[in-house]
Structure 1
Amino acid sequence: MAKVTLTTFLTLDGVMQAPGGPDEDREGGFEHGGWLVPYADEDMGRFVDEGFATATGFLLGRRTYQIFAAYWPRVTDEDNLVATRLNALPKYVASRTLEKAEWHNSTLLRGDAAEEVAALKDRLDGELQIHGSGVLAQSLMAHGLIDEYRLLFYPVLLGGGKRLFTGGTVPTALELTDARTTGTGVAINTYRAAGRPRYGSFALED
């Protein structure tokens, strides 16, 4: 069975929208695109490369697929691990509106995203990675289909924008399996899904 992992860049107030550039995603009048770039350094790049090195395939939402497909095929440096993995490995694109996916080794998932991914998990081995793709990630979280969360928290507050964790997030316990901090102050935490939360009380006994 395949493992599904989610890697997401987040501000400290939980925004994940348009980390890489001003025009990446202006939906909702978002004017803070590119907030990640000033914090990119070798530490961050090393973590990203480590993650891509374990991928055997990718799960992408429509918007992320279109952003990636417009950019990564143009990166032809064989020493660029992210480009070589994205351009070569299977990509499964959850979309009911895209008519075709022309990027090499791409397959459209036109049915219910959670059902399609559950079937892929059963059929495949290795690690299927989600990068960004907030709507897809939220759909899979709601059905308990994400096994590992790799969350990069950047020391910036934006006050508004699309968030990964919303009011409809299913209560889930997480186990911290790795933690590190980059030279620019990015906190990188890796969590394993650990079932439902447990509860207790600090109330004084009578």
Structure 2
Amino acid sequence: MGKLTLTTFLTLDGVLQAPGAREEDDSDGFAYGGWVAPHADAGMQEFMGEVFGRAGAFLLGRRTYEIFAAYWPHHDDPANPIAHRLNRLTKYVASTTLKEPAWGPAAVLDGEQLQAEVVRAKDATEGELQVHGSGRLAQWLLARDLVEELNLLLFPVFLGAGRRLFPTGCLPTACELTASRTTGSGIAIHTYRPKGRAPFQDFEA
């Protein structure tokens, strides 16, 4: 049985939209794409190598799948844990529009029973079933308590606009911090394990 994990890049104000390139995702008029590259460093690369080294399969949204498919097949390197695993492990794609994924091995999860399909994919995975990027899928998974571990890479920039990982109306959830580090360029990397609904109480007088 695998573990479903989410790894995502965030700004200080929680934005996850278009981290990798200026033209990656300009939906809703977003004009600040490509905010990760100015801060990427060896510490970030080391951490991401560790994460991908634990991967048994991937669960991606259609847009992230297509962004990866346009890049990683052309940059295959057996010595690179990211390229090696992305190109060889199964990619489950949550999509109602993608019918024949060209970058394999891949399987489309598009049924009405998506939650059950995700659980079956996780149970069939040895290691981690990893979600990378895939903002809307990540929100959908978090709303159903399906994410078992979150790797949040917090970059030293805030934008004031863009799609956020935790939108208004998301489930109030408490988390346990299981690991933390900071890279040389100021990226704060925190690993959390959700532990149920958030508690609330007053300070004692």
For 1:196 and 1:119, the matched residues in 2 are separated by: 24
TM-score, with normalisation over the residues of structure 2?
Answer: 0.96
For 1:137 and 1:94, the matched residues in 2 are separated by: 11
Q: Which runs of 5+ in 1 are unaligned?
A: none
1:81 Cα offset (Å): 1.3
Name the amino acid aligned to 2:195: A
Q: Which residue does the alignment assign to 1:90?
A: 90
Q: Which residue does the alignment assign to 2:19?
A: 19
Q: Which residue does the alignment assign to 2:66?
A: 66
For 2:162 and 2:66, the matched residues in 1 are separated by: 20
Q: Is 1:5–2:5 an aligned residue pair?
A: yes
1:122 Cα offset (Å): 3.4
CA contact (8 A) 1:16 1:163 kept: yes
For 1:76 and 1:118, the matched residues in 2 are separated by: 29
Q: CA RMSD in A?
A: 1.1
1:6 Cα offset (Å): 0.2
**Matched pairs, number:** 204
> What do the CA deviations read for 1:62-98 (whole angstroms, capped 9, x no partner)?
1000100111000122222111110000100000011
1:116 Cα offset (Å): 1.6
1:61 Cα offset (Å): 0.3
> What do the CA deviations read for 1:105-152 (whole angstroms, capped 9, x no partner)?
100001143232122233444210000001111111111100000000
Q: Which runs of 5+ in 2 are unaligned?
A: none
For 2:117 and 2:172, the matched residues in 1 are separated by: 23
CA contact (8 A) 1:114 1:139 kept: no
Q: Which residue does the alignment assign to 1:107?
A: 107
Q: Which residue does the alignment assign to 2:175?
A: 174
TM-score, with normalisation over the residues of structure 1?
Answer: 0.95
> What do the CA deviations read for 1:124-182 (whole angstroms, capped 9, x no partner)?
44210000001111111111100000000001010000111001211111000000000
118-127 or 50-59, which deviates more: 118-127
For 1:80 and 1:119, the matched residues in 2 are separated by: 29
Q: Is 1:200–2:195 an aligned residue pair?
A: no
CA contact (8 A) 2:11 2:159 kept: yes
CA contact (8 A) 2:56 2:125 kept: no
